[in-house]
Amino acid sequence: MPTLNKTTSRYLPFFLLVSQTAFAQNFAEKPRVFVLTDIENEPDDAQSLVRFLTYTNHWDVEGLVATTSCWQRDTTAEWRIKEIVDAFGKVRDNLERHEPGYPTHAYLSSIIKKGVPRFGMSGVGADQDSEGSEWLIQVLEKADERPVYIQAWGGANVLAQALWRMERTKTPEELAAIIRKMRVYTISDQDDTGPWIRKHFPDLFYIVSPGYQENGGDQYHYATWSGISGDRFHGRFTGPDFTLVDNPWLDEHIRDDHGPLGAEYPQTEYLMEGDTPSFLGLVNNGLNNPEHPNFGGWGGRYELYIPPYKKYMYEPETRPIWTNTQDEVYSELTGRSHTSHHATIWRWREAYQHDFAARIDWCTTPNYEDANHPPVAKLDHDNVIKVKSGETVTLNAAGTSDPDGDALQYKWIYYDEPGTLNVYGNDLKIKDEDQSVATFTAPSVDKVKTMHIVLAVTDDGQPSLTRYQRVIVNVLP
């Protein structure tokens, strides 16, 4: 795991003693989301957009912009976004019956834009504005202090152009205020604008597994996001269940006989939904915390540091970025533990795949009682607690319920990596870890340490669905 240095320290989002304020998951209000996609370069962008639309009641979606990339250099495919949004419009009312808050078809159609049909930095500068970059600027200029989560599923030149333009039209103070509310997640570097953005705007919050495909072969194997569906490297199984992301499972649970939106989900050619990790961490499931990428969640886990230069990177990084880190996860498939940055995503694979399958089921199920819905995980105490070494700690989820009346399974998981205790190889013994009320003994420490314990509650519906609560334990001497 990378270590933090003096350069990194000013970027740290929380103090050693984690407070309830620092823990706040930022879901009291919907996150603002803006998508840049090189859709139609291969099938996975269309796949990701189908899943994305089933979760649009969790967010305020403010832009869907077609872009270029190294795979699609001189054209954009906004028409494909429109096709999939049109399919969403046919099932939107059914989705709304199961979980309210979905945007209308008319609204989503109004925010489909196109970027400049040029590759990378050739589309940045004077006379390179597009309706996509201009729309992004308008979104960022709104009198709304909520963070804007900007996702680049392909090239990032629309984002680069917006920054280039604002740097020339705004005061340094105005630009700094806008950058403070920007949260960028790019799926590697699919053009040369990402490294330029990171170097020229060093205070910009940026999640990326840096690497430019044309600069050194198949670097996608080394990117955290490929853990969404990749798990066979050079023919070897590396931990997760591949059947859950393979075409036969997707045929049965997503594509076939699941209505017009499921029908827009194409067959996988390379990896399933390579862009989905950019938004999975924004799903309001009780586990995710988008302001703290190092906490880990469905979209993976990331640490803040300057990564060492690799041959597949466009150029050396000059500032800390949120990037690859590792989790150690036990796999029932192989009967052993696996340590990798991919594991920070695939450890949640069954849960996020079942959740997507349930939401696609909602598309063709008009009656609420005929479908499954996620449980409501609740704690009988705060999400952040303070204890002393040697103290018996009680974890209580007795208030948890299920809207369908399904039976529930409980699992209290000691999530080692996000904390500061670092007791690798020494399992924390949680008594009654499969019950709604569990206990453990706080480890002995000589200074304040933090521990993350995740409650996972799974119903017995079809498909089974999981929701979470995270407990951060501050252990005092």
- CATH code of the domain in which 158 resides: 3.90.245.10
Where is the domain boundary, 353, 384, 412? 353
Output the pLDDT for position 15: 45
Whether residue 378 sits in one domain with residue 308: no
Number of domains in the chain: 2
Whether residue 317 sits in one domain with residue 211: yes
Whether residue 225 sits in one domain with residue 141: yes
Output the pLDDT for position 304: 98
CA distance 52 to 81: 12
C-alpha 472 chain-centroid distance:
20
Whether residue 261 sits in one domain with residue 382: no
Output the pLDDT for position 41: 93
3-state secondary structure 100-119: CCCCCHHHHHHCEEECCCCC
Whether residue 426 sits in one domain with residue 292: no
CA distance 320 to 293: 13
What is the chain's pLDDT, residue by residue, as a tens digit (477 residues)?
A: 223 333 333 333 334 566 655 565 557 789 999 999 999 999 999 999 999 999 999 999 999 999 999 999 999 999 999 999 999 999 999 999 999 999 999 999 999 999 999 999 999 999 999 999 999 999 999 999 999 999 999 999 999 999 999 999 999 999 999 999 999 999 999 999 999 999 999 999 999 999 876 654 567 888 999 999 976 544 556 789 999 999 999 999 999 999 999 999 999 998 899 999 999 999 999 999 999 999 999 999 999 999 999 888 888 999 999 999 999 999 988 888 999 999 999 999 999 999 999 999 999 999 999 999 999 999 999 999 999 999 999 999 999 999 999 999 999 999 999 999 865 445 689 999 999 999 999 999 999 999 999 999 999 999 999 999 999 999 999
Backbone angles phi, psi at 125, to 5 degrees: 130, -165
Whether residue 184 sits in one domain with residue 93: yes
Which residues span the domain enclosing 189?
Answer: 6-353
Position 166 in a domain? yes
Position 378 in a domain? yes
CA distances, 113 to each of 15, 64, 320 (Å) = 40, 6, 31
Position 1 in a domain? no
As a residue count, the chain comes to 477
Position 363 in a domain? no
Q: pTM for the complete prediction?
A: 0.93
Output the pLDDT for position 421: 84
Q: What is the DSSP code (8-state) at residue 251? A: I
Whether residue 412 sits in one domain with residue 311: no
Angle at 120 between CA 116 and CA 126, to 5 degrees: 60
Position 407 in a domain? yes
Position 322 in a domain? yes
Whether residue 259 sits in one domain with residue 206: yes
Whether residue 317 sits in one domain with residue 462: no
Position 250 in a domain? yes
Position 431 in a domain? yes
CA distance 409 to 433: 10
Whether residue 377 sits in one domain with residue 313: no
Q: Say if residues 155 and 119 touch (Cβ distance below 8 Å).
A: yes
Contacts (Cβ under 8 Å, ≥6 apart) of 23: 289, 383, 384, 470, 472
Whether residue 27 sits in one domain with residue 141: yes
Whether residue 283 sits in one domain with residue 234: yes
CATH number, residue 436: 2.60.40.10
Q: Say if residues 22 and 14 touch (Cβ distance below 8 Å).
A: yes
CA distances, 396 to each of 438, 440, 450 (Å) = 7, 12, 19
Output the pLDDT for position 218: 65
Output the pLDDT for position 21: 57
